[in-house]
Structure 1
């Protein structure tokens, strides 16, 4: 006598009677405490790096707009801004490509264009 149709049929189900794993709704995987702490630390580090980059970018724009002849300040802040941008890219996993423009050069062109449009 087959056990497939009796009261214990579910207990003795064969593979073809079981629902497939793909049909099951999976619960999201959880991080361990250590992994979660690493994720939080990385998020904080990315936020700090982004804040540094934005602060330097705003300082560069301010000097480029108000004191465009102050080339030493522009060069120093531009170099810091380029380093902050590279750090931010490295943290979020973007590769450093050899043909990308330095952000300070792009900002210099934008500030110059903005100053020319004001005149």
Structure 2
């Protein structure tokens, strides 16, 4: 009788692929999370999705103000600062280090808008 499928399949699979340490999964084993780890992973995914949505919302607002009201420097500065903070938060959540020479997203967005405006004329 085969032990591949059925009630004892899991036990047999565990016996065959039992590793001496509880380190990262190897090629022969499947990566499994405990309930607590899985809940943390789901919470982190939701937090990253929220941070990305915040960043995209602020970026779109910045681009909208820069295109429709380019003389509104106070509004651009306020939205740009919020956008930079949201970008830094997103980078921190996904594990990217904050480097001192990284261009701020608002500066990059401003250059993109200037380049687009020059291409239209």
User: What TM-score results when the alignment is normalised by the length of structure 1?
Assistant: 0.77
Q: Secondary structure at the match of 1:88?
A: helix
Alignment of 1:8-87 (within 5 A): 26-87=28-89
- Mind listing any 5+ residue stretches in structure 2 that lack a counterpart? 1-18, 20-26
Q: Which residue of 2 aligns with 1:105?
A: 107
Q: CA deviation at 1:55?
A: 0.4
- Mind listing any 5+ residue stretches in structure 1 that lack a counterpart? 1-20
Q: Deviations over 1:67-92 (max 9, x none)?
A: 11110110000000000000000000
Q: Which residue of 2 aligns with 1:116?
A: 118
Q: Which residue of 2 aligns with 1:12?
A: none
Aligned length: 96
Q: Which residue of 2 aligns with 1:96?
A: 98
Q: What is the distance in 2 between the residues matched to 1:112 and 1:64?
A: 9
Q: Which residue of 2 aligns with 1:14?
A: none
Larger radius of gyration: 1
Instruction: Give the superposed CA RMSD.
Output: 1.3
Q: What is the distance in 2 between the residues matched to 1:106 and 1:29?
A: 39
Q: Deviations over 1:59-110 (max 9, x none)?
A: 1011111111110110000000000000000000000001011000111111
Q: What is the distance in 2 between the residues matched to 1:78 and 1:33?
A: 39
Q: Secondary structure at the match of 1:54?
A: helix
Q: What is the distance in 2 between the residues matched to 1:68 and 1:118?
A: 16
